[in-house]
Amino acid sequence: VLLPLANVPMIEYALAWLESVGVAEVFVFCCSHANQVKDYLQKSQWLGQSRIKVDTIESHDSISAGDALRLIYEKNV
């Protein structure tokens, strides 16, 4: 997620595209390096200064996409 592409973290491209097509709310699911992702989002324009609401969901126990989807379902997201 934070891996740079042309010196810009890849999450920037995804969030910018979602904002450009009118998405109002985005959930970023974090497993490993969740603190780094949260820190980056807090320092970036995406928390508070953008037209979209960005929330993070953190799980250190998810090891597969199925685990992540179950957790998201349980949180009623």
Please write the tens of the pLDDT for every residue from 43-61: 988 777 778 999 899 988 8
- What is the predicted pLDDT for the residue at 26? 92
Distance CA 12, CA 75 (A): 25
Please write the tens of the pLDDT for every residue from 6-40: 999 999 999 999 999 999 999 999 988 889 999 99
- The more confidently predicted of residues 46 and 68 is 68
Place of tokens 């998405």: 23
Domain ranges of the chain: 4-74
- What is the predicted pLDDT for the residue at 46? 78
Distance CA 65, CA 77 (A): 15
- What is the pTM assigned to this prediction? 0.80
